[in-house]
Amino acid sequence: MASWAEFEEKEFETLANAALVMQQLPGGMPVQLFSPGQVLEKTLGFDFATYVDPLGPLYRALFGATPGAPGVRSGPFPSRQVPTSAATGLLNVFLQYKRPQFFDQRHRSKVQPSGQPHLAFMIEERSSKGTDKYAQVGALDNLEVALQSQALVRYVCPSTWQKHELYRRFSSGELLTTSAFVAPRLLRLASQSGYHRRWTFLEATPGRGIPNPEGIELPAETGVDFTMTLTETRQGLGSPRTTTELFASATERTSTTRGSLRQYRKSSDPGQFREHEQQERRMRDEVRLTPQEHQEIVNEAVSLALVARDLRIQWMIAAAPDTA
């Protein structure tokens, strides 16, 4: 028997975003995560609120749900200064938050032993007739392939389906360490093109899972593993990239993905497509309110923010604190 989690994806996303920010400070993690808007403010040297509406679509797209966004308290993070400089290596991080289903001992799954309770999150999406139910995972997979060493892309799912336990883990600093971080490439079908329907895993071992159907057990990551991957990837970037270089290169490499997403939106939900087009126009109009010499880089950031919006993923920037 399967039961959906007692919380919504947005609820988990809010807690996970806060945990990513709060828990990197006490542990002295070599790499910290910031919103693209925070990094832009540091690079360009001005406060976006001076030029654009803090409640407008541009501000929301670039600040997301991290400190500095409208309605998010910044008080607990006074020492968390963006370390961007000419010598800072930057990395894109894209996270798709999922809520799990819980399968009790009466389940009929063919990939987990009989009588073994487990969790799973869905990859297949509900869609209108004739549209691709795996468009999102395909786009996430393509995003990671296109950006290569410039980005990490992960599905993130907690290893609990109960609301009170979700909040307990957040309060005790265990939310990320007990969550599953799964790269889209692990969800590819081995014998044919396409993707698995879901990812299944045990509560006790979120760092391993089985894609379903017909998958084999594979290593994924916990929050601890992901932090190590994040640090190692950032440190292995080679020559540092400026904010402008990072955004411009990523925008160029995602042009095919953006085009595919646009066509998918247009065919699957014409009403939402029109709404998104109007929102994009408003964002581009807001860009014109920024100083002219900075408009190109802000436009590049908007292009990436629109990809994140259309894929319903959280976009952050990883940077290493200056040691000088």
- Does the reported pTM lie above 0.85? yes
DSSP-derived 3-state class of residue 156:
strand
The pLDDT of 34-47, averaged and rounded, is 87
Instruction: Give Cα 304 distance to the centre of its chain.
Output: 12
Q: Of 45-49, 160-164, 197-201, 286-290, which range is least confident?
A: 45-49
Helices and strands: H and E segment counts in the chain: 10, 11
pLDDT, position 143: 93
pLDDT of 78 over the 60 cut = no
Amino acid at 3: S
pLDDT, position 73: 47
Residues of the chain with pLDDT > 70, as a percent, come to: 83
pLDDT, position 232: 87
> Cα(149)–Cα(232) distance, rounded to whole angstroms?
11
pLDDT confidence band for 45 (50 / 70 / 90): confident
**Residue range 261-308, pLDDT digits in tens:** 888 777 777 888 888 889 999 999 999 999 999 999 999 999 999 999
**Residue range 100-145, pLDDT digits in tens:** 999 876 555 666 666 678 899 999 887 656 568 898 999 999 999 9
pLDDT, position 123: 93
**Residue range 172-191, pLDDT digits in tens:** 989 999 999 999 999 999 87
DSSP 180-197: EEE-GGGGB-SSSSSB-S
Q: In terms of Cα–Cα distance, which of 253, 248, 226, 235 is closest to 88?
A: 235
Domain boundaries, the chain: 1-51+88-239+312-323
